[in-house]
Amino acid sequence: MTTEAKQTIARISAFTSRAIERLQTGKPGDTVTADQMRDVIGMDCRSRDKGYSYVRSAIHHVESQHGIVWAWDRDGDQWKCLDTQSKAESVDGFIKQARRRIRAGLRRGKAVNEAELTDEQLREHRLRTAVVGTMDLFTSGGTRQRLESASKVGTLVITDPAKIVDLMKR
């Protein structure tokens, strides 16, 4: 472990640090039960337990710093280290979650009585709803279909946002 990595872990709580040490060595298919993690960090760590936040912080750390992704496996009642395919497939869950939050934002924006806002508040409200509307457009099923068909013909370059915007103009 590098000195920089040791310094980063030193700034993290002892509980999170212990969880990081356990999780950063994970290989695809490895599992860690809540009981095993309790033995590692010294406290219960299921979703409503005091130690859960330390494990979540550790999972976030090893994902961002080491590219190792752990996800809760409800059926097995354990955390599982994901392989590359599972990592890619798990992105769908984030898209669905984002869509739900975006739709909630749209509903909330529609519920605002614009007549009761000052000019500055109205400008800010319309800006926010435009952003949420844009997010809704880019996470919609229609956009996915356009992106999918563009990727099949080889015209989609994910790393270039301008190409995606051009695709939406069609």
161 or 72, higher pLDDT = 72
47 or 135, higher pLDDT = 135
Task: Write out pLDDT tens, residues 35-66.
Answer: 999 999 999 998 888 999 999 999 999 999 99
Residue 115: what pLDDT? 96
Residue 146: what pLDDT? 79
Locate 108 and state its tokens: 């909330």
Residue 152: what pLDDT? 74
Domain 3-82 top-level CATH class: mainly alpha
Give me the sign of the Cα torsion angle 153, 156, 162, 165.
positive
Task: Write out pLDDT tens, residues 17-43.
Answer: 999 999 999 999 999 999 999 999 999
Work out the number of other CB atoms within 10 angstroms of the CB of residue 77.
Answer: 12
Strands 31-33 and 70-73: unpaired
Domain boundaries, the chain: 3-82, 90-169
> What would the mean pLDDT of 1-26 be, rounded to a whole number?
78
13 or 61, higher pLDDT = 61
139 or 26, higher pLDDT = 26
> What would the mean pLDDT of 117-131 be, rounded to a whole number?
95
Residue in 53, 73, 57 with CA at minimum distance from that of residue 23: 57
At residue 2 the predicted structure's pLDDT band, cuts being 50, 70 and 90, is low
Residue 170: what pLDDT? 60
Task: Write out pLDDT tens, residues 68-119.
Answer: 999 998 888 899 999 999 998 998 899 899 999 999 999 999 999 999 999 9
